[in-house]
Amino acid sequence: MKTAKAKVPRKPVLKKGSQTNLKDPVGVYCRVRPLSCPDQECCVEVVNNTTVQLHTPEGYRLNRNGDYKETQYSFKQVFGTHTTQRELFEVVASPLVDDLIHGKNGLLFTYGVTGSGKTHTMTGSPGYGGLLPRCLNMIFNSIGSFQAKRYVFKSNDRNSMEIQCEVDALLERQKREAVSVPKTPSSKRQADPEFADMINVQEFCKAEEVDEDSVYGIFVSYIEIYNNYIYDLLEEVQFDPIKPKLPQSKILREDKNHNMYVAGCTEVEVKSTEEAFEVFWRGQKKRRIANTHLNRESSRSHSVFSIKLVQAPLDADGDNVLQEKEQITISQLSLVDLAGSERTNRTKAEGSRLREAGNINQSLMTLRTCMEVLRENQTYGTNKMVPYRDSKLTHLFKNYFDGEGKVRMIVCVNPKAEDYEESLQVMRFAEVTQEVEVARPVDKVICGLTPGRRYRNLPRGGPVGDEPLVTEVSLQSFPPLPPYRLLDINDEETLPKLIETLEKRHRLRQVMTEELNKQCMTFKALLKEFDSSLSNKENYIQEKLNEKEKLISGQKSEIERLEKKNKTLEYKIEILEKTTTIYEEDKRNLQQELESQNQKLQRQFSDKRRLEARLQGMVTETSMKWQKECERRVAATQLEMQNKLWVKDEKLKQLRAIVTEPKPEKPERPSRERDQEKIIQRSVSPSPVPLSSNNIAQISNGQQLMSQPQLHRRSNSCSSISVASCISEWEQKLSPFSTPVNVTSLARHRQQEPGQSKTCIVSDRRRGMYWTEGREMVPTFSSEIGVEEDHCRRGDVFKTRGGGQSVQFTDIETLKQESPTGSRKRRSSTVAPAQPDGTESEWTDVETRCSVAVEMKAGSQLGPGYEHHAQPKRKKP
């Protein structure tokens, strides 16, 4: 007994003439079933033989406020409502059977919502055999006469096949038949009337180019996947309807070639369509019973019917199966009727059934995810893990998508409006699946033995009794025997003539035989020649093939290298893209920041401008104010100077009057009238202007006004010197008289004027003259002194800024000494009074200080007194 490795399903292995580089997309077909009731609203329309169009049904639009939408979906082929089972089979399934017979794997599944016609398509309905019986029919039509004897091939539980010689097989057959007669199905049995009309396929369908030098065995298995558990539907378990035993689920295993298979799954060898379908029907019945008894949602289970074809070449004599396990090929065609693809809530299942249904739905979801990942991997060259293991269904078919084979899907659609939403989902899944590519299965390995072995050792001329012998043919070509009749016993002519004729014919026959033999020899020689040339050619082809293979392997390694390079580059690109994204993000952020900063800057700029404008306005306002203030102060100062001048003039006049007076016996009290007359005669100075705001406002040219007092001051200073000398002279002259009396009288005279009660001590440092100690008192312009005094008394502290030291003017004298001549010298120095808060405000010079003081006096403190003092003098002239 020999064991053959399972080929189904297998990983692509580099073999002779391998075409593993080639890939085909999953063939997706669409079948639209007819409406069960012609009045129903239809939402699916077949546009042409590759396109269907779905449109939003009326009810759906009204319920969901949806817009009217038309969506078109393309398929490899679309089958309309009138498509027959035969048409569908010929297009979709027969190529898969063809592949199966040529040692290639195939997977065909129906997908759609419940009631869309999946089972009708796959199994068929009474009178309308589906794809499954048609496939079986085609298989047995093709390999019928080349089938191996039963039990020559034996399946084992390691997903491989064992092979035994015909004698062993015969022995086993006898043994089994002796043990259980009814269990062994018979190929000769009549089809069960239950399904007879489903397998009664009228059309004769046969695969082409079937290898006649091989023997074949067909094994079928039937499993159901429900709630993510696998159940063997062909397992021989007695079903007890009273106390039903829970069916045992099967597990998935991986064989040494990494192919998935259901461990311990029953594989039944079948020899005819009837027998195979009977096995299927048995499983189907079992499934139905289990569903009923276990209260299952039958539409929620996946069923997988697998047809395994085992093929082994005949030996060199063409008599027996070659007992070489390497030469055995196993191919498999899986026909899958998937569970309804509708969402769980549609079935209104509850409790555990809902959970189970969820699991089933989960397996379809996994199938969908697998397709999506596969497509992504194939489209973008990524290497994402396909989640086959997430469900039994996908795990079982992993090798079809990972390995090689032909995968086809029939999307079944019920055009009724209620299925619209589900149909949309089905279409989307179909779209994804169409883009998945599966490696094209490799061609069958050529067996090294000479083809035509099956018939070579049959008796010459072919099977006996079937065809006429060559000798007969030659005899037929002889001229017919003349009609010889023995008329009487003494007839001596006829017999010798007959003998002669027969001898002639015998000779002719001998010649012909010789000729034939000669021709045979020639033909044999020719055949031998042909054989040798064929083997030569074969060798040549083999060599060429080897060469090509080498080339291909070289190219493959090159491709691999390039692919690796490509992957590296892709990885680099990915990294670069990521980096670019990061940089772009940074750039965006920075730009945003820049914009915000710009906006902020703009805001600040406009704020600044506004502030500038406001400050400008304030500055203008303040400068105007200060200008006015200055003008006012200048006017005040001018006025004050004029007053001073006037006072000095007045004093001068008085002094002059005293001096020029004829020497009296007794000093006369100066008469005001007289003085006034004199003043009128001599005065050149302008009379003091009463200090009023009106007058100040009238003064427009400050400069001119400033120059006037200076002029007067100069003349005044000259005159004051002369006056001083005069006074000293006069003092010497009038030594007997008490000067203080005069002064006192003068002072008294002053005191008579209200608001002028203060007496001042005036000093002149430049000249070293002091009118001090209360004796030598000269009436002076008390208002000025009062101003200064008042100013100092308020505790003002004057500081020189340059030295940083403060110079405190504590007495009036000091201040007076500085003014008016001292003030000139210090015009540029800045003196600032200390503010109550400790800060320093700037004072331009003493003059200003004075003017301010005067102004203050004029405006508030001294105003009334001053006016009183001045006004009468104005009235005098």
Contacts with ligand ADP by CB under 6 A lie at 33-34, 112, 114-120, 125, 299, 340, 412
What length does the chain have?
877
Measured from the CB atom, the residue of 359 and 643 that comes closer to Mg ion is: 359
**DSSP-derived secondary structure letter, 822:** I
The Cα–Cα gap between 397 and 260 comes to: 7
Count of CB atoms within 10 A of residue 134's CB? 25
Which is nearer to ligand ADP, 133 or 318 (by Cβ)? 133
- Closest distance between ligand ADP and the C-beta of residue 422, in Å? 11
* Cβ at position 113, least distance to ligand ADP in Å: 7
Q: Is 113 annotated as a binding residue?
A: yes
Total H helices, total E strands in the chain = 25, 27
Beta strand 214-226 with 268-270 is: antiparallel
Q: Which of 549, 552, 593, 730 is nearest to 654 (CA)?
A: 730
114 is in an annotated binding site: yes
115 binds, among Mg ion, ligand ADP, none (CB under 5 to 8 A by kind): ligand ADP
Q: How far is the CB of 336 from Mg ion (least distance, A)?
A: 11
Buried b (16+ CB within 10 A) or exposed e, 13-39: eeeeebebeeeeebbbbbbbbebeeee
- Nearest distance, CB of residue 271 and ligand ADP, angstroms: 29
Q: 118 vs 857, which CB is nearer to Mg ion?
A: 118
Nearer to ligand ADP, 124 or 217 (CB): 124
Question: Which range, of 69-77, 113-121, 439-447, 828-836, touches Mg ion by CB under 5 A?
Answer: 113-121
Q: Which is nearer to ligand ADP, 28 or 870 (CB)?
A: 28
Euclidean distance between CA atoms 867 and 857, whole angstroms = 11
Beta carbon nearer to ligand ADP, 116 or 221: 116
Among Mg ion, ligand ADP, none, what does residue 112 contact (CB within 5–8 Å per kind)?
ligand ADP
- To the question of whether residue 802 is assigned a binding role by annotation, the answer is no
Q: What does 755 interact with, of Mg ion, ligand ADP, none (CB < 5 to 8 A by kind)?
A: none
By C-beta, is 55 or 120 nearer to ligand ADP?
Answer: 120
Name the minimum Å distance from CB 256 to ligand ADP: 37
In whole angstroms, what is the distance from residue 406 CA to residue 25 CA?
9
Query: Whose Cβ is closer to Mg ion: residue 139's or residue 409's?
Result: 409
Among Mg ion, ligand ADP, none, partner that 423 touches (CB below 5 to 8 angstroms by kind): none
Q: Say if residue 768 carries a ligand binding annotation.
A: no
Selection from ligand ADP, Mg ion, none that 125 binds (CB < 5 to 8 A by kind) is ligand ADP
Q: Which stretch binds Mg ion (CB under 5 A): 110-118, 193-201, 557-565, 852-860?
A: 110-118
Q: Is 118 annotated as a binding residue?
A: yes
Q: Which residue carries 């085609």 as its tokens?
A: 138
Closer CB to Mg ion, 113 or 760, in the complex:
113
Which residues, at least 6 apart from 109, have a Cβ–Cβ distance to it below 8 Å? 334, 335, 336, 337, 338, 408, 409, 410
CB of 284 to ligand ADP, least distance (A): 12
Q: Minimal distance in Å, beta carbon 589 to ligand ADP? A: 56
> Is 119 known as a binding-site position?
yes
Residue placing its CB nearer to ligand ADP in the complex, 113 or 169: 113
Range in contact with Mg ion (rule: CB under 5 A) among 100-108, 112-120, 182-190, 665-673: 112-120
688: CB partners within 8 A, 6+ apart:
639, 642, 643, 646, 647, 870, 873, 874
Q: Is 301 in the site for Mg ion (CB under 5 A)?
A: no
CB contact at 8 A, 280 and 419 = no
Work out what residue 398 binds among ligand ADP, Mg ion, none; the CB cut-off runs from 5 to 8 Å by kind. none
* Residue 459 main-chain phi, psi, to 5 deg: -55, 140
Residue window 353-372: x/- pattern of binding to Mg ion, with contact defined by CB under 5 A: --------------------
The distance of closest approach from Cβ of residue 396 to Mg ion in the complex, given in angstroms and rounded to an integer, is 19
Q: CB of residue 337 vs Mg ion: minimum separation in angstroms?
A: 6
Closer to ligand ADP by Cβ: residue 127 or 351 = 127
Q: Is 331 in the site for Mg ion (CB under 5 A)?
A: no
Provide DSSP, 594-642.
HHHHHHHHHHHHHHHHHHHHHHHHHHHHHHHHHHHHHHHHHHHHHHHHH
Q: For residues 809 and 22, what is the distance between their CA atoms, to the nearest angstrom?
A: 115
Pick from 121, 120, 112, 114: nearest CA to 424: 112
**Contact yes or no for 815/822 (Cβ under 8 A):** no
Task: Report the alpha-carbon distance of residue 318 to residue 457 in Å, rounded.
Answer: 7
Contact segment (CB under 5 A) with Mg ion among 52-60, 115-123, 417-425, 687-695 equals 115-123
Q: What's the closest the beta carbon of residue 359 comes to ligand ADP, in angstroms?
A: 19
User: Would you count residue 110 as binding Mg ion (CB under 5 A)?
Assistant: no
| 410 vs 88: CA distance, rounded Å | 10
Of 126 and 244, nearer to ligand ADP (C-beta) is 126
Judge contact between 26 and 438, C-beta under 8 A.
Answer: yes
Amino acid at site 419: D
Give the span between the Cα atoms of 461 and 478, in whole angstroms: 21
Contact status, residue 422 vs residue 346, Cβ threshold 8 Å: yes
112 belongs to an annotated ligand binding site: yes
CB of 311 within 8 A of CB of 331? yes
How crowded is the C-beta side of 696, counted as CA atoms within 13 Å? 18
CB of 110 to ligand ADP, least distance (A): 7
Q: Which residue intervals of 330-350 are DSSP H helices?
A: 344-347
Q: Which residue number has the CB closest to ligand ADP?
A: 117
How many residues interact with Mg ion (rule CB under 5 A)? 2
**Which distant-in-sequence residues (6+ apart) come within 8 Å of 530 by Cβ?**
none
Applying CB under 5 A, does 121 fall inside the site for Mg ion? no
Nearest distance, CB of residue 116 and Mg ion, angstroms: 9
Name which of Mg ion, ligand ADP, none residue 713 binds, using a CB cut-off of 5 to 8 Å depending on partner kind.
none
Q: Rule CB under 5 A: say whether 119 interacts with Mg ion.
A: yes
Q: Binding-site residues for ATP, please? A: 112-119
Question: Where does this chain bind Mg ion (CB under 5 A)?
Answer: 118-119
Write out the binding residues. Answer: 112-119
